[in-house]
Structure 1
Amino acid sequence: MIGIYLLIGAVTLLYVYLKWTFSYWDRKGFPSTGVSIPFGGLKSVTQGKRSFGMAIYDLYQSTKEPVVGIYLTLRPALLIRDAQLAHDMLVKDFASFHDRGVYVDEENDPMSASLFQMEGASWKALRNKLTPSFTSGKLKAMFETSDSVGDKLIASMKAQLPQSGSKELELKKLMATYAIDIIATTIFGLDIDSFADPNNEFQVISRKVNRRNFEDIVRGASSFLYPGLEKFFVRIGWKQEATERMRELSNRTVDLREQNNIVRKDLLQLLLQLRNQGKISTDDSVWTAESTKNGVKSMSKDLIAGQLFLFYIAGYETTASTTSFTLYELTQNPEVMEKAKEDVRNALEKHGGKLTYDAISDMKYLEACVLETARKYPALPLLNRVCTQDYPVPDSKLVIKKGTPVIISLIGMHRDAEYFPDPLSYQPERYLEDNKNFNQAAYMPFGEGPRMCIGARMGKVNVKIAIAKVLSNFDLEIRKEKREIEFGINGVPLMPKEGVPVRLSLKK
């Protein structure tokens, strides 16, 4: 009998707790979306029907409220649908939303202290120190390395095509291989060829990063939704294999450079400058990284590994997706493809037939194509922040309390007809100087404000290299019927459900 009473009591307490939790936004006076207890707005994710980013997109489409309360399982958050408000939060009102609110533990887990995860003064200090790494001069110095990887991509594609006729290739996997090699060479300074050796160390790490077993799902969810739980997992010694392998690779490479005084023009070399000299040189011709006389290291090897892991994860998936999606859209829009090919051809002729950094910079229409792809297919479909001080919502009586998670659905805004006319239509002309007919506050595929993606320019250069080389070497077959790409259900980045198929042939 006592057991029955205890069971009834436990059920009653659980019911009261859930009712209290899922009435949070009602008590705060905010409008809210419907919920499915105990999943909140993420039932489709737990059922394996939608990815996290697309579940947030569904919530975006379910309401017209400019600010709406949602539930990330048991955690209340705010979804910002008003583009100008979202832009102001990231730029003008950055002081109230300067952190992401994800897992970071600088003291006990230095590898978690990446530029993406760090908070407050620590983030600001590191951001300022890393900014000189991505100047035009630095990118120009690294261009030759990226260009050589592009040549390997073209050689691999040619080897798969018949001498006459066309063949369908799955571009997403090809471009992922290209992107991994770009990261390995321009960031780590390691000369690898994943087209020839698909089981090299970087490919192994990539497969572990993209693995979606139970452990990876739990750790990914805890890092984003419940940072305190992730901190507990780390403290008890639950290590992630991909992170540990990246730490080992990074430390080994740092030791090799420092012990043998090796100098290369890559991002690791600039991090070694910061480690040994306390700053990255603003002189784009200086790449040496000798220690100062006192020998004090201003950056630990684990902190370096954390930044390299961030640039690896953020760089390769973004480059692979944006490149393959752009080429796919060109096959569905023949007029756009012809303009892109002409743009590439004219830039190459201007620079003596050689693909250089300046030639890539002169490809303005191709740049517009990349920007339009980033709108329609933002690699990271959402932005997240946490309110760092109470914030009165403009033109309302609502106040966002300190500690509240804030979500901005990029794919929601980018595919909203209110902000972008005919949003599913692929129109690079949107970004030409005399034709910007969209709400520019709504366009932020690389983030916005002080926490905008620090490597966005580098990423666009690498995407344009691949596209320019493909258009110069192959004829892409126009699709007879347009078909929108369906997205997969795993992870946060936008991933194609069934790859990105494009039929092409050797250029005659």
Structure 2
Amino acid sequence: MDITNLTTYSLFALSVVLCVYILWFYKQTFAYWRKRGLIYLEPTIPFGNAYDVCLKKHTFGELFAQFYLKLKERGVKHGGAYIFWKPVYIPVDSEIIRNILIRDSEYFPNHGMYINEKNDPLSGHIFNMENVEWRNFRSKMPSVFTSAKMRKMFLIMEGMTKRFNSNLNAYAKSGHAVDIKKETTKFTTDIIAACAFGIESNTMKNENEEMLKQARGFFDYQWNYIRNTLVMTLPRPFLKKINFRIMPKGLERYFRDLCEKIINHRKESHLDRGDLADTLMRLMQKRETDFTGKDTMEPLNFEQFMAQACVFFSAGFETSSSTQTFAMYELAKDLDCQVKLRKEIDKVLEKYDNKVTYEAVMEMKYLDCVVDGKHSITLIFREAEVHFG
């Protein structure tokens, strides 16, 4: 037998062995839920139940929604599925979900996202934090969202609406089409920058396009399809070994510079606004009691400050602007809802001398329904707390 044939046979044999191993690996992996006696969605090699994600027909969020609905149709309280070769647990029953989030939350502290604070510091935000570190930081966040602070923030928000209204009136007078998502994004960017960090971003005046670009980068990279697929399928130690990043260096540089300016300005001017920036700075400067109230937690370092600032800023403006955009779209399609909402607003404002106050908005129950409760712009920061808590 010559060397060419030997090489061919060797490659063939190696391919057969590799195929057999892959089949054996998947067979063992796909037996995970069956061995535990849990009903599961039937997977296929090699995608598991993530075939539609691989074809980009659905996002991961939509995929998990499908898992939930399919298991709910079967009438089960919970079940299993597979993302490639990884088993995932899907709670269906509301009582199980409630227990996971509340009573048994100590056993479910992690979100399963990628975090590498050393080489990718922006990945260390509250949504990705894990274990004791997450518990400690989460326990400090409610102090930012007290009713007194919300009322103070509301005054800032109310002032922002004048510029927002002026921009929309300019479109109305010109008769030009308006990109309402772009306008609400500028609106909520100015609000989150002012209320959380004391920054005049002036995006509604078209003076800070770079801030909008960088803030959008959080979603473009954090929820990028390829990056999410790698995070869901490859072991974290391997990703750390190859210095995998979920956030781009450009975004890190931007927020590093921004946060340095915020901290230096607060220190030099001795400002105490009681906002998110102040809370984060306080956690950097001294040891505070941990979530148990019996011990102390390690102070935040600058990278952790930067990660929290990035996620609260990005998520704060984007979630609220999207909610406003969809609400206005639905109102534009339904004249009856428009009329009903306008009547409620006029009726409530009449009680408050036609002034938009925090108390007035809290009385607008139909408005609350229109924007789905916690997504109201007046509850922008409370929404962020719920979303990341």
Do these two structures clear the TM 0.5 threshold for a shared fold by scoring above it? yes
Q: What does residue range 97-108 of structure 1 map to in structure 2 within 5 Å? A: 97-105=108-116
Match status 1:353 vs 2:354: yes
Q: What does residue range 309-324 of structure 1 map to in structure 2 within 5 Å? A: 309-324=310-325
Check whether the contact 2:215–2:313 (CA below 8 A) recurs between aligned residues: no
Deviations 1:101-130 (A, max 9, x none): 322345665543322222222222222222
Gaps of 5+ in 2: 1-8, 290-297, 385-389
Distance 1:119 1:141 in 2: 32
Distance 1:330 1:275 in 2: 45
Deviation (angstroms), 1:132 = 0.9
User: Could you tell me which residue of structure 2 aligns to residue 275 of structure 1?
Assistant: 284
Match status 1:53 vs 2:61: yes
Share of identical aligned residues, percent? 24
Check whether the contact 2:144–2:274 (CA below 8 A) recurs between aligned residues: no
Deviation (angstroms), 1:14 = 1.6
Distance 1:361 1:236 in 2: 42
Check whether the contact 1:186–1:265 (CA below 8 A) recurs between aligned residues: no
User: Could you tell me which residue of structure 2 aligns to residue 363 of structure 1?
Assistant: 364
Relative to structure 1, the CA distance from residue 246 to residue 73 in structure 2 (aligned partners, 3 Å threshold; closer, same or farther) is: farther
Greater Rg over alpha carbons, structure? 2
Aligned partner letter, 2:317: Y
Which has the larger helix fraction? 2
Distance 2:383 2:20 in 1: 58
User: Could you tell me which residue of structure 2 aligns to residue 4 of structure 1?
Assistant: 12
Distance 2:354 2:233 in 1: 50
Higher relative contact order (CA 8 A, sep 6+): 1
Check whether the contact 1:184–1:202 (CA below 8 A) recurs between aligned residues: no
User: Could you tell me which residue of structure 1 aligns to residue 301 of structure 2?
Assistant: 300
User: Could you tell me which residue of structure 2 aligns to residue 22 of structure 1?
Assistant: 30
User: Could you tell me which residue of structure 1 aligns to residue 125 of structure 2?
Assistant: 114
Check whether the contact 2:218–2:311 (CA below 8 A) recurs between aligned residues: no
Relative to structure 1, the CA distance from residue 244 to residue 27 in structure 2 (aligned partners, 3 Å threshold; closer, same or farther) is: farther
Deviation (angstroms), 1:196 = 2.6
Deviation (angstroms), 1:50 = 1.4
Distance 1:6 1:355 in 2: 73
Check whether the contact 1:219–1:230 (CA below 8 A) recurs between aligned residues: no
Relative to structure 1, the CA distance from residue 368 to residue 107 in structure 2 (aligned partners, 3 Å threshold; closer, same or farther) is: same
TM (norm. structure 2) is 0.82
Distance 1:460 1:365 in 2: 19
Deviations 1:221-249 (A, max 9, x none): 44455544443344799954323422332
Check whether the contact 1:146–1:182 (CA below 8 A) recurs between aligned residues: yes
Gaps of 5+ in 1: 281-296, 375-445, 447-454, 463-508
Match status 1:331 vs 2:332: yes
Distance 1:150 1:228 in 2: 47
Aligned partner letter, 1:31: I
Q: What does residue range 68-107 of structure 1 map to in structure 2 within 5 Å? A: 68-105=79-116
Match status 1:149 vs 2:157: no
Distance 1:459 1:189 in 2: 14
Aligned length: 364
Distance 2:205 2:233 in 1: 39
Match 2:264 to one of 255, 258, 283 = 255
Aligned partner letter, 2:359: D
Check whether the contact 2:221–2:246 (CA below 8 A) recurs between aligned residues: no
Distance 1:233 1:131 in 2: 37
Deviation (angstroms), 1:264 = 4.0
Distance 1:116 1:140 in 2: 26
Deviations 1:460-498 (A, max 9, x none): 699xxxxxxxxxxxxxxxxxxxxxxxxxxxxxxxxxxxx
Aligned partner letter, 1:258: K
Root-mean-square deviation (Å): 3.3
Match status 1:182 vs 2:171: no
Match status 1:242 vs 2:236: no
Q: Does the residue aligned with 1:36 lie in a helix, a strand or coil?
A: coil
Check whether the contact 1:42–1:73 (CA below 8 A) recurs between aligned residues: yes
Aligned partner letter, 1:138: K
Relative to structure 1, the CA distance from residue 13 to residue 461 in structure 2 (aligned partners, 3 Å threshold; closer, same or farther) is: closer
Distance 1:456 1:220 in 2: 32
Q: What does residue range 209-220 of structure 1 map to in structure 2 within 5 Å? A: 209-211=218-220, 216-220=224-228
Relative to structure 1, the CA distance from residue 97 to residue 207 in structure 2 (aligned partners, 3 Å threshold; closer, same or farther) is: closer
Deviation (angstroms), 1:137 = 0.6
